[in-house]
Amino acid sequence: MSEPLITPELVQKHNLTPEEYEKLKAVLGREPSYTELGIFSVMWSEHCSYKNTRPLLKTFPTKSPKILVGAGEENAGIIDIGDGLAIAFKIESHNHPSAVEPFQGAATGVGGIIRDIFTMGARPVCSINSLRFGPITDDSQPADAPATNHHSPIANNRRLFGGVVAGIAHYGNCFGIPTVAGEVYFDKSYEGNPLVNAFCLGVLRHEQIVRGRASGIGNPVFYVGPATGRDGLAGAAFASQNLTEESAERQRGAVQVGDPFMEKLVCEACLELLATGAVAGIQDMGAAGLTCSTCETAARAGTGIEIELDKVPQRAPGMTSYEIMLSESQERMLIIVHKGREEEVKRIFDKWDLPWSEIGTVTDTGRMVVRHHGKVVADIPARKIADESPIYQREAREPEYLKEVRSFNLAGVPDTQDPLAHLKALLSWPTIASKNWVYRQYDHMVRDNTVVCPGSDAAVLRIKGDSVPGAPPSACPDKFIAMSVDGNGAYVFLDPYEGGKIVVAEAARNLACSGAAPLGVTDNLNYANPHNPELFWQLKESVRGLADACRAFNAPVTGGNCSLYNQHPAGPIDPTPTVAMVGLIEKPEHITTQWFKDEGDAIILLGDVADANDPLRGLGGSAFLQRIHNLKAGIPPRCDLEKEKELHLALRALIHSGVVKSAHDCSEGGLAVTLAESCISQQIARETPRLIGAQVDLTALAATPASAPALRLDALLFGEAQGRVVISMAAVNAGKVLAQAKILGITATRIGTVGGGTLQIKALGTTLSCDLSELHDLWWNSIARAMR
């Protein structure tokens, strides 16, 4: 088949600018072949090169004595957890593919992140996810009202939501690792451009860490996994352009097709092979497929690599070199084997009934050379294409809309006259409502290591002997790892810097509520088009906030993913940095959950009820304004990182002292929603909730200093001031906790008692008395009703 003539139009179709094409020619010293043009287009895409974000990523804190493999070094970061054990973890996006084919887009997102983990030599032990969709309910209609028009935005949002959740469930359940935590938000800005961020964590010993490097001149290069097809063609380039109806239809073939059973075989075979010592380097064929795996392994090792495409297993007849190199067919690995040990490799792959082929050799040329049908179709300096992509310092300009945000006040917003109705409306809002419709589709108990299941502030996983590749169970002491994933696009839209800080602070607060101290962070930066100076300013400012908060909590960034160009013809998404934070719990008795435990227990609020310096008293950007008043407006609450850090330290100290029975952070929906969730969120069986009431009096909290404006009822109940946690303990210990909090410099107020069949809240002359069964029904079944 003759290759097309390379014209300016063809270069543009490959998403390369004229300047980038000139740089490409300078790298090669000549005009590229069609295959080389395709290789450069994917390797210099934002998805692979981070050409618009790399300068910002360098501002993240990435160092810690516990970090064994740092950000950007390999496929995933690795952190020491003591006793010679380590964890590898990372989060990545599959946004555009999921918008086009939600089931396969989400499924292969899970598959890709699992491969990133076992590529490091770690056994994958759990996954979590962070999802964003357009609204699945019409707030003017009952929650279970059908979308009458099957082509309406709400119907399409439900289709995307259902497909993505099914895809995640399919891949994780079939592969056999638990999905233990996550978050789901619904907002109009994600209509047509959902966000699907997938995280995986694995376990290994320090000496089992392997590198994605083509080491050893003369070492053979093996391909293992299913044959290469035309699915997933140039998917990395597709993910690095604006999503439109036309591009989605045109790029349907850029969505990969996954096979989790094949991935399980590949994982087990690779872990067995790594234990033999026959492997010099290993890399999965993820974004950009064979292209990325060959040039990146060579670049890391400072070597060259030569491959023969005739030896690559192919699923379709007549595939061109362009198609073979750019295919993103799933479950494939590139393995560099120590010369002379080829027979061990073949024996293990044959044992696992896996296709394999010896396709090339490591060379000393520093070049990636690709042959096909006896001809050289690509000859490129490996380091220049992998590490020396164009880097841009984009213009950043503060958006005009922020003037309106900053001028917003509550003068035109009436205080709540029916707080009980508003509490019910918030609890049934899909963003706040229980996500059990999602996580009940996931197997979160497979391998029986999940200690705290989905539904609390953080998931907790036990790392025991059989989690570690090749280790006898008795050789490893149990470890307890807590995980939380958080984001708040509305906050970041309204104030990117403060919003970025809050994302990290909430993740750290969730870990503190579980009894854990942070180890590290992996982040997924989901933003719109970086060429727009106002949109790039959002990215730049929020990264500044993320970095400052990670430093404050001593939670270095170990890696992650940038996903730009997230915008539909209707407009850009809200800037949505997603943070997955991992922490360590020292002892099993320190593991804490969010729900109230026993009748008669005292309820204490740690932290200030409101920020006296915030004119909106925590209502800016709040769920209350969005849900009740249909307003995404106002400056969000401030995040004082020093006070937040002190709160977390104090909370962990109280938990370690043995007195705290429950801890739940105040976030979306404010104090009233936090109290309600503490009463209704425990499930003792699949169909049986455990409901326990509370009698709460906020009268003391409502009293404000003479210098501060009076606290409105809606702000008291539903304001989202930062740095607050509701804890419970035996009444006999309440005085001790209050005294200890005072010593630690933390505001603490006893606000009530656990018990009874209702949630009763007294505040500003009003008493809410809420039937727990009704609250639970609204909260538990809201999403299921919408998805019927």
Would you name the residues annotated as active-site residues? 47, 94
Rounded-to-integer distance, Cα 306 and Cα 294, Å = 9
Q: Are strands 694-697 and 758-763 parallel, antiparallel or unpaired?
A: parallel
What is the CB neighbour count within 10 angstroms for residue 173? 17
Backbone angles phi, psi at 595, to 5 degrees: -90, 150
3 state DSSP class of 658: coil
Contacts of 51 (CB under 8 A, 6+ apart): 44, 389, 390, 391, 392
Distances (CA, A) of 254 to 330, 565, 653: 12, 16, 50
Q: Which two tokens stand for residue 210?
A: 């392997």
Closest CA to 456 of 348, 355, 597: 597
**670 conformational bin, left if phi > 0, alpha if psi -120 to 50, beta if neither:** left
Distances (CA, A) of 387 to 43, 54, 282, 300: 9, 11, 18, 9
- Taking the CA atoms of residue 575, residue 623, residue 436 and residue 722 in that order, the dihedral angle to the nearest 10 degrees is 80
The one-letter code for the residue type at 378 is A
Closest CA to 328 of 253, 401, 397: 253
Closest CA to 361 of 523, 222, 265, 482: 222
Rounded-to-integer distance, Cα 767 and Cα 745, Å = 31
Cα angle at 760 between 754 and 765, to 5 degrees? 130
* In 586-648, beta strands by DSSP E: 602-606
What is the CB neighbour count within 10 angstroms for residue 148? 10
Q: Are strands 304-308 and 367-372 parallel, antiparallel or unpaired?
A: parallel
In 260-387, alpha helices (H)? 260-276, 289-301, 321-326, 342-351, 382-387
Rounded-to-integer distance, Cα 601 and Cα 623, Å = 29
Residue matched to tokens 């727990």: 772
Rounded-to-integer distance, Cα 618 and Cα 607, Å = 13
Q: Which two tokens stand for residue 245?
A: 């109806």
Q: Is the dihedral of CA 769, 771, 772, 775 positive or negative?
A: negative
Return the DSSP state at 433: S
Q: H-helix or E-strand containing 99?
A: helix 95-100
3 state DSSP class of 643: helix
Q: Which two tokens stand for residue 103?
A: 């089931």
